[in-house]
Amino acid sequence: MWFSIAIASFFLLSVAAVIDKFLLTKTRVVPLAFAFYIALGGILSSALLFFEAEFYWPAFSQLWILAVGGAALFFGLYFMFKAVEVSEVSKANPLIVSLTPLFVWLLSFGLGLELISWQKILGIIFLLIGGYYLSQVGQIHARINKQAWLFIALAALGLGLVNVLSKLSYDQMPFISSFVWIRWFTLLAAIIFVAISGKWQEIILANKKSGQEEVKIKSALGIFIFGQVAGSAGVILMQYAIKLGNVILVTALSGLQFLFILLLVYLFSRFYPKILHEDISRNFIGQKIAWSLVLVLGVILIFL
């Protein structure tokens, strides 16, 4: 059961990623606004889950797991949107998704939960090779630069950390309570970060828009809501799959998201280029698929 739930979750996350790329490139919505409103939306959607469960107050020893997990989720999302903003989604997303299980394994290894083996070493090599060559596919202006690589690595670290800490909290607390608490701490981390950085103007979209640009924001509102619903449903399903199954296996299955992303990007670039356009020439799309499969192989080897 967890297998089919995981597949559905990664398809929905792929849909959300493509919509996010559209909004980041066709409007003035910035990565910080995306991360903040997703954190806010996480509170509103996850709070509804409390109607299905009794309120659970975590022990003091559990609070650090929830707090660090919430902060890791916010910054993982923030740097993910930064990476998608400055690079092609069909490159940035597969790299983030493939590096996330690597960080999950490294964190598990650091906690003494995993032993190193030649398969894992070989898997890391495949990830590095596949990731580098995927980033170099296409014209020079479309290749991933050092700044984008930094955003990708930080995003993968944050999302990998929240997956590990989520599994720890699910083992110690009721699933719904744990899920909701982490989302509350995600919003708290978002508020603290925006307050300290003084970037409130970046998330108050109305102050940045006027005239025709404001109309564009309003017309994109339905797309934004649809993307957030798809993303929220994908996250909930993924976390539920982690609860039912193994965090490492579920994370490894995220390699399927590569193919979903490539398919959606191809369809939009071919039939609706004004919405989203990437180089889909036969040579480049073939290379993206090939190197994405190398990433999938690396993920599989790491978790053998």
Alpha carbons 21 and 36: distance in angstroms, whole number: 16
Q: Quote the domain boundaries for residue 84.
A: 2-302
CA distances (Å), origin 190, targets 61, 104, 165, 194, 203: 23, 23, 18, 6, 11
Task: Identify the segments of the chain with pLDDT beneath 70.
Answer: 27-29, 45-55, 108-118, 131, 134-135, 137-143, 205-221, 247-248, 251-252, 254-255, 275, 277-283, 299, 302-304
Provide the pLDDT for residue 73: 94
**What's the total number of domains in the chain?**
1
Provide the pLDDT for residue 206: 46
Q: Which tens digit of pLDDT belongs to each residue from 141-183? A: 556 778 888 999 999 999 989 988 888 888 888 877 888 889 8
Provide the pLDDT for residue 197: 87
Provide the pLDDT for residue 58: 80
Provide the pLDDT for residue 207: 40
Copy the structure tokens of residue 227: 């993307």
CA distances (Å), origin 194, targets 73, 82, 242, 270, 272: 15, 15, 30, 38, 35
- The length of the chain in residues reads 304
Provide the pLDDT for residue 31: 84
Alpha carbons 56 and 4: distance in angstroms, whole number: 29
Provide the pLDDT for residue 267: 82
Question: For 29, phi and psi rounded to 5 degrees?
Answer: -65, 130
Query: What is the CB-side half-sphere exposure of residue 32 using CA atoms within 13 A?
Result: 16
